[in-house]
Amino acid sequence: MLKWKYFRAHLLSCLIVAGATLVAIPLAAQTRLADGFLDDSSFVNGSFVAQDEQSHVGYPHDWSSSHLLMPGARANDVLTASDHDPRYVYNWVMRQVAVQNLRHWIPVPRSESRIDWAVSLENGYVRQNQFPAKYSFNVNSDSCANDYVVFGLTVASGTQANLVGINELYTSASPECNSGSPWVSFAYNTVTQTGGQIKTSPVLSQDGTKVAFVESTSSGSYFHVLVLPNPIPTPPTQDGTVLSPYSKLTSCTVPTTPNCMTTLTIETTASNSNSSPWYDYNSDTVYVGSDNGILYKINPVFLGGAPALVSDPNNWPVTVSTNKYNNVLTAPVVDDNAGLIFLGDGEGYLYSVKISSPAKITSATYTVGWVYDGTTDGSGDAGTGVVDPPIAVTDPANSGTDQVFAFTGCSYFENVGGAITQVAANFTTGPSSQTNPGNTANLGSASGDGDCTGENVHSGTFDNAFWVNGSTSGHIIACGFVNDNGVGGQAEMYMFPFSSHVITNTATATFNIKSTKGAGEECSPLTEFYNGTSDMLFFGVGSSSAASYLQSSTFTTSSPYMSTPTCSGSSTSTCVTAPDALGGTSGIIIDNEVTSGGTNIYFSTLAVGDVAGQTCPSGVNGASTNPYCAVKLTQAGLQ
């Protein structure tokens, strides 16, 4: 089995090699690196190799990376936390390496934003609150051949590929990859069921050789593990194109052979429209929900054996949501430090489930969205649910218990519209009163008195001050609505501080989000990254009937605290246009590659058409004159 202990040691060793003065890793942490885990044979041509399987371990980044956090931590604290989940180290190392990389990168000023590339996805797209996934072969350097981004696509029509991998990513690098052109390295049509779609986000194995995802139909869901080609094809070879998927994909029981795919039936009476799989690296286990409120456990996944549902008559699966109107579950967030799994539902509830021996039931239920209160009933209405997974935070500044943050477009509490709710991880079922919002921040409502706008609020994020100091001095940021602006809701960004480690309801800063419609807008989930000098926020916003935008803002430590993006008909340094689409873009993933112009962001459009005037057909494998696009921007082009 591929041991996390090797990878943990490798990541911190990379930083020591890159420059220990940057991180100031304590001697105790360096001692743990030795710990018997590493020797000279662990490194091959500058890369790390796990000794038990001789399998390279890189850096996967997917939807879950921003949902399990440990801010304000020292290196040895992160090492200890990584015994529970390597995501703590992934996030910490990524931010530290960004600072180190900045020493080697001289930014080139640009008067307006520039799309690095836009690749045609033809009739397929990544949905609004879902994400592509990226694999980086080495945490300290770029690889044109081995680094890739994979897009799991909802395909509007046709028999094209619905799982597409792109490498040769760094077209602004020096030297540039593939003479400045990205490459569709692999493309598969993974449909095994009539009407099957990939509606949620994929996850990657630690060595980057496998991808797991869910295929959903109108009445069922199916879990797949696909073994990618090894090595990943580079120009001029490729395993399929978007229009002509790889034709030799085979079915297998155990995922070991390149270009084979396993299929496991999860559910035949309910779809999965919103619950991405969460991969537990330490136990080789996936947790995933369904639209009928049931949470499933799958083991093994990547590390050997045939993926199988854990069927324990005393514990699994767990019935989470049994509500009247909407039992669609979010993706689960596994907080091993708290021993709990957190997830929400379309009704508006936040749930916790015990990781160990859950007894087929939830541990606690907390009301977040506008559920039935005995007199009025918002349940099932647009914007009243919890549609994005919560964020679980292990905060050394508030070490008593982990904290959980959930988001809704219409709160349970009186006089609160869209909302962020903070609860301790060990919350008990509640609350009982609608008049005491407690740790809930208001994100605006239709008429200013807490009524719904009819739009959703997606996952927020935290600023770099939070990453450095936790809730002692940091902020949480979320995209809600202009207060008292009517049903439909024009988007507005909010930043809230913490007081005594609890979110306050007085915003430090807000800005109105510009688009051409002004109502009926939602932001994508928010993505933040500190590149060594600037703390950046990235998000998409828009509506189905007006031009949408990919926008950026910069956080500062003094007023106005957040810069307001400048959007117009043409691209600016903080805003690029995208096709008309609800929310503007899919979720955004990020990296910190050094030779490509700093921070890179990756996303898909939610409607057909060009991006910032650049059309997809001029890129790779474009045939449609008006396709959906996979897009890459650099921080040098959008800042």
Q: Which of 8-17, 65-74, 199-208, 517-526 shows the lowest mean pLDDT across its residues?
A: 8-17
Residue 12 in this model has a pLDDT that exceeds 80: no
Residue range 173-187: mean pLDDT, rounded: 92
Residue range 352-371: mean pLDDT, rounded: 96
Residue 197 in this model has a pLDDT that exceeds 90: yes
Q: Which of 253-257, 362-366, 631-635 shows the lowest mean pLDDT across its residues?
A: 631-635
User: What pLDDT, on a 0 to 100 scale, did the predictor assign at position 465?
Assistant: 93
Distances from the Cα of 372 to the Cα of 278, 344, 366, angstroms:
30, 16, 13
For 556-587, b/e burial (b = at least 16 CB within 10 A) is eeeeebbbbbebeeebbbbbbbbbbbbbbbbb
User: What pLDDT, on a 0 to 100 scale, did the predictor assign at position 638?
Assistant: 56
Closest CA to 321 of 353, 299, 276: 353
Q: Which of 17-26, 251-260, 494-503, 580-589 shows the lowest mean pLDDT across its residues?
A: 17-26
Residue 297 in this model has a pLDDT that exceeds 90: yes
In the chain, the amino acid numbered 451 is D
Closest CA to 406 of 434, 379, 427: 427
User: What pLDDT, on a 0 to 100 scale, did the predictor assign at position 36?
Assistant: 30
Q: Name the most confidently modeled range: 69-83, 461-475, 530-544, 589-603.
A: 461-475
User: What pLDDT, on a 0 to 100 scale, did the predictor assign at position 598?
Assistant: 62
Residue 40 in this model has a pLDDT that exceeds 60: no
Question: What single string gives the DSSP state of each residue in 275-318?
Answer: -PPEEETTTTEEEEE-TTSEEEEE---SSSS---B--BTTTBSE
- Are the CB atoms for 520 and 544 separated by under 8 Å? yes
Classify residue 383 as exposed, middle or buried by CB count within 10 Å of its CB (0-12, 13-18, 19+). buried
In the three-class reduction of DSSP (H, G, I as helix; E, B as strand; rest coil), residue 499 is classed as strand
Closest CA to 94 of 594, 606, 595: 594
Residue 637 in this model has a pLDDT that exceeds 50: yes
Residue range 168-178: mean pLDDT, rounded: 88
Mean per-residue pLDDT of the chain: 84
Residue range 318-340: mean pLDDT, rounded: 95
> What digits encode the pLDDT tens for the residues 366-419?
999 988 666 666 666 778 899 999 999 999 889 889 999 999 999 998 889 999
- Please tell me which residue, 51 or 509, carries the higher pLDDT value: 509
- Are the CB atoms for 303 and 2 separated by under 8 Å? yes
Euclidean distance between CA atoms 299 and 281, whole angstroms: 11
Integer Rg of the chain from CA: 23
- Are the CB atoms for 488 and 555 separated by under 8 Å? no
> What digits encode the pLDDT tens for the residues 143-161?
999 999 999 999 977 789 9
Q: Which of 181-185, 204-208, 460-464, 556-560 shows the lowest mean pLDDT across its residues?
A: 556-560
Euclidean distance between CA atoms 204 and 307, whole angstroms: 15
pLDDT bracket for residue 9 (50, 70, 90): low
Q: Name the most confidently modeled range: 201-215, 373-387, 448-462, 505-519.
A: 201-215
User: What pLDDT, on a 0 to 100 scale, did the predictor assign at position 594?
Assistant: 55
User: What pLDDT, on a 0 to 100 scale, did the predictor assign at position 519?
Assistant: 64
Residue 619 in this model has a pLDDT that exceeds 80: no
Q: Name the most confidently modeled range: 82-96, 105-119, 487-501, 530-544.
A: 487-501
Euclidean distance between CA atoms 184 and 121, whole angstroms: 10
User: What pLDDT, on a 0 to 100 scale, did the predictor assign at position 349?
Assistant: 95
User: What pLDDT, on a 0 to 100 scale, did the predictor assign at position 374?
Assistant: 60
Residue 332 in this model has a pLDDT that exceeds 90: yes
Residue 593 in this model has a pLDDT that exceeds 70: no
Residue with tokens 């996850």: 203
Q: Which of 86-90, 92-96, 253-257 shows the lowest mean pLDDT across its residues?
A: 92-96
- Are the CB atoms for 362 and 307 separated by under 8 Å? no
pLDDT bracket for residue 23 (50, 70, 90): very low
For 175-189, b/e burial (b = at least 16 CB within 10 A) is ebbbeeebbbbbbbb
User: What pLDDT, on a 0 to 100 scale, did the predictor assign at position 597?
Assistant: 52
> Strand pairing partners for 366?
350, 430
pLDDT bracket for residue 623 (50, 70, 90): low
Euclidean distance between CA atoms 237 and 250, whole angstroms: 19
